[in-house]
Structure 1
Amino acid sequence: MGHLHQNKKVLNRVKRLQGQINAIEDALIDEEKSCIDVLQQVAAIKGAVNGLMNELIEAHLREHVISDSTSNEDELQTFIQLLKRYA
């Protein structure tokens, strides 16, 4: 996915995830933070990772599967196996 280095939307999502992960680390150090606060932050990260995954899936499909004028059955099968493994 060499084309992703130009995708600012994906890079921004990753930067937000980094910030959220840092916030969890800080919350774990802060004795004033409750377990619920930390769990809410983790849930937010889970949602953000799912959003990132969806963005990457869409980018991959558009760039490598749909846009190819030639039939790319091997690429499609590899991608389907990946989805089955992590979905």
Structure 2
Amino acid sequence: MSHTSTNDKKLLARVKRLKGQLEAVERGLENKAPCGEILNLVASVRGAVNGLTAELIEDHIREHVSNPETDSDLARAQGAADLIQVVRTYLK
């Protein structure tokens, strides 16, 4: 079973929020909303996509590379923890 299957409710909730945000952008464009408003909506979408991406990458690292909480190889566990932190920081 894929790790995305175990977190599917949480991930699907994120995707549904993204869908709603994209629909807000679409409505704004259709209603000729001010460009500043559209830019703010698009920035929100970008942030949501980055959050989803970070979560998927972190889950992938924990499942397929090393889980820092359970890996008996301390160097590998620390490397995975460092990588997860970099991903979180980079995609913030």
TM-score by length of structure 1 reads 0.69
State how 1:1-87 maps to structure 2 within 5 Å. 2-7=2-7, 8-31=9-32, 33-67=33-67
Moved over 3 A (4+): none
Give the deviation of 1:27 after TM superposition.
0.6
Is contact 2:3-2:60 (8 Å) kept?
no
Cα separation, 1, equivalents of 2:44 and 2:65: 30
Cα separation, 1, equivalents of 2:28 and 2:50: 22
Letter in 2 for 1:3: H
Give the total of aligned pairs.
69
Cα separation, 1, equivalents of 2:31 and 2:5: 35
1:1-51 Cα deviation digits (max 9, x unpaired): 8321331222111111111011101110003x1101100000001111111
Unaligned runs of 5+ in 2: 72-86
Cα separation, 1, equivalents of 2:19 and 2:5: 17
Letter in 2 for 1:45: V
Cα separation, 1, equivalents of 2:66 and 2:36: 43
Letter in 1 for 2:34: S
Letter in 2 for 1:35: C
Unaligned runs of 5+ in 1: 70-82
Please give the secondary structure, in 2, of the residue aligned with 1:28: helix
